[in-house]
Structure 1
């Protein structure tokens, strides 16, 4: 619980800092350089926003794929495992991911709302809701491994969406939300069916050691997944 609260508190601070840097945020959409036309393709103007979205998208795709592999075919974690998700490393990941996820919403808010107080209030309320819901949601995901896999699939989808945005290929958010919503509905029906049949959930591999789980839980809260099965 403490680690989760630290992660969400840092998310709040990060978003407030982004709002306080509105002039800098607005400048991110200004092209930094232009890639000339190659093989008949049009010129491509690259801005700071594009770079952040491309890096964030690639990181999400790598992270989700890595976690899926470790959960299904990876080795079981032990206390003497060499690679552990350190508390500091996970905190850095949370901050970077939160910047990527918040960037577009902050840019949009700047164009819609003139009063920064309104935006700050909205951010505080949103993080407050996450603080309340994070615990029950984390416990639910831990009890249902298929939900964890679905959450990782959502990360892949979001990563592809960020890549597309960074390459100036707009994907309507409604399509993404519809796909996620339909997937959640199907999974809900599957969980109800499994409960009626008394089917036990599968046991996923846990690539983290017992000591590392506390730190890794912070990253799981930020990305919608948790490292323990």
Structure 2
């Protein structure tokens, strides 16, 4: 494969990775919106950990949506003012910053939705069913789930409720991290490979002379030779400077 073909294939791969990254950002926006909606209720916000999860979900939604908007802005800038580099650089730095922030909060969200964190949250609510059973968020949840304070019944209902929010949150957040992380690392690897490509040295290759130009050189040499024999040209320096290998 020639150098041009390799570079062309790499450029196509870069565009594919960029489109995959945009798809990952859109998926992240959709999931963060849904997860924020699920976590934004009084029962979840009754605990400190639930409030923290809601805030992380809101931040991931804001950063992923900001990344998508900046990508659209960059595309518009490339189309309408391609020669102006300054707004392009600002948009690219904004995309990088928003993406890094988004990944950081996705990882934090991933940590706080592990099984051990879910067990801590479950223990908090089981205690709250006894110590705070008359407070509105706890009382409303117990009434809606027909939980009368019996430990076994409340435990089963609570586990089912938290699994739909914490455990699924862990799985989907992990998917978001993979969807965003894989194209970024692949893009960085591909760009590093492209930076290592050096142009081929063609100085040792034989010079290829076009046929028409080759014929012109031969006719010029023949003209100079004929006029030299007739004594019309006494300085043959130009003829000496012509490469004798061209004719052969």
- Give the TM bin, normalised by the shorter chain: under 0.3
Q: In proportion to residue count, which structure has more helix?
A: 2
> What's the TM-score, normalizing by structure 1?
0.27
Q: Which has the larger radius of gyration?
A: 2
Report 1 or 2 for greater relative contact order, CA contacts < 8 Å, sequence distance ≥ 6: 1
> What's the TM-score, normalizing by structure 2?
0.25
